[in-house]
Amino acid sequence: MPKLFDTHCHFIDFDIDTITSLTSLLSNIELLSVSKSPSDWSPNIDLCSHYQNIYPALGVHPWYVHDLNSFENDLMRLDELVNSEHIRILGEIGLDFAAEYLLTRSIQERYFAAQVELSVRKGLSLSIHCRKAFDAVLSELKGNNIERAVMHGFSGSHEQAKPFVDMGYKLGIGSQILNLQSTKYEKLVKYAPLDSLVLETDAPYVKVGADMSLVQRLQAISERIAAIKMVSLEEVVSTTYNSARLILGLNYHDVE
Ligand SMILES: [Zn+2]
């Protein structure tokens, strides 16, 4: 069985039991451990440094942009950490225009634009949070000729996914696909090409399937994708694994 790649989890927010049980499984899985805010950055780098197959992503999530006073300092620190810690990807960053976050819209836009600009200067990939902001995110990515991005927990329709897929961006498919009541995610998976999909748990935050271990969840998501697309489980696991490594540029710079 090829390896599973969780392209979006918050490793530093796991409880110690999960971290301990994961350690024994690291020959079977790889993880991208995203950050939410600057206070996550150093703990995330520290924790990931103990594991060969866990990669830290640094960034400011659109829900955590409140403090414009620290904006310039945050960016300078991010710039430095990217160099000193050999960071490959920024995340999670993005835009959230759902009603409860509209108040910070202009601050979100500043943070997002600055982080995208940083990724261009440093040649970094992006892990993107996007809610009710598909046009704004797409135009920012396209306008900066971004080549490698994951649309984490993609929540749009398959029609909304198309321009992202056409740009070569990957769609993060999470535990929501395990909810058999919802046909939206099923349609998305059905119509998107298999090589545009990657796996994610968004653990420990997404509650669907929370009673499963991380590996069980990744496996269940893969099985569901295989059933919807009528391909083998092995094909789903190996294709999503390769796509995740491609986004991280791991096929170009061998770190094993
Ligand atoms: Zn997340």
pLDDT (tens digit per residue) in 114-144: 999 999 999 999 999 999 999 999 999 999 9
Beta strand pairing call for 125-131 and 149-151: parallel
Q: How far is the CA of 215 from the centre of ligand 1 (A)?
A: 17
pLDDT of residue 245: 94
Q: How far is the CA of 90 from the centre of ligand 1 (A)?
A: 13
Q: How far is the CA of 200 from the centre of ligand 1 (A)?
A: 9
Q: How far is the CA of 174 from the centre of ligand 1 (A)?
A: 11
Q: Kindly give the parts of the chain with pLDDT less than 50.
A: 252-256
pLDDT of residue 256: 41
Domain ranges of the chain: 4-247
pLDDT of residue 181: 85
Q: How far is the CA of 206 from the centre of ligand 1 (A)?
A: 8
Dig out the tokens for 130 from the structure: 């996007």
Is 4-247 a domain of CATH 3.20.20.140?
yes
Q: How far is the CA of 8 from the centre of ligand 1 (A)?
A: 6
pLDDT of residue 197: 98
Beta strands in the chain, from DSSP E residues, in sequence order: 4-9, 29-33, 54-58, 89-96, 125-131, 149-151, 170-173, 197-199
* C-alpha separations of 1 from 111, 127, 169, 177, 181 in Å: 40, 26, 26, 22, 29
Q: How far is the CA of 92 from the centre of ligand 1 (A)?
A: 7
pLDDT of residue 46: 95
Nearest to 247 by CA among 156, 192, 171: 171
Question: For 225, phi and psi rounded to 5 degrees?
Answer: -60, -45
Q: How far is the CA of 152 from the centre of ligand 1 (A)?
A: 8
Q: How far is the CA of 173 from the centre of ligand 1 (A)?
A: 12
pLDDT of residue 1: 62
pLDDT of residue 253: 40
8 A C-beta contact, residue 131 and residue 151: no
Alpha carbon 245 to chain centroid, angstroms: 12
pLDDT (tens digit per residue) in 197-214: 999 999 888 766 667 888
Distance, CA of 156 to CA of 159 (rounded, Å): 8
